[in-house]
Amino acid sequence: MEVWAIAFIVAGVIFLFGIALLIWGKREERNYYDSLTTRVDLREFFSRWPPRPQPGALKAGGWIAIAVGIALAGIGWLIIYLQNK
């Protein structure tokens, strides 16, 4: 398998992983804030128990993964360009 193909495959997987993290983070954030209105008391909100993934960290990780995926795709394009030169 060519080096550029491996770079594109890895870039695509990381890019899709980043999109999945963004969606997961937005869903967690929505569920967390929607559940505040249905609680009898806000003890869970203040004590932060049970622990759950922080939506902000998931979204930040998603953006980082998308940036890495785009960078790897750029490296793949660069490899193709240099091989054809």
Asked if pLDDT for residue 40 goes beyond 70, the answer is: no
Residue 7 binned pLDDT confidence (cut-offs 50, 70, 90): confident
Phi, psi of 42 (to 5 degrees): -100, 20
Angle at 15 between CA 23 and CA 5, to 5 degrees: 155
Q: Answer whether residue 49 shows pLDDT above 70.
A: no
State the chain's mean pLDDT as an integer: 84
Q: Which pLDDT score is estimated for 43?
A: 66
Report the pLDDT averaged over residues 14-36.
Answer: 86
Residue 71's pLDDT is 94
Report the alpha-carbon distance of residue 60 to residue 64 in Å, rounded: 6
Asked if residue 74 has pLDDT above 90, the reply is yes
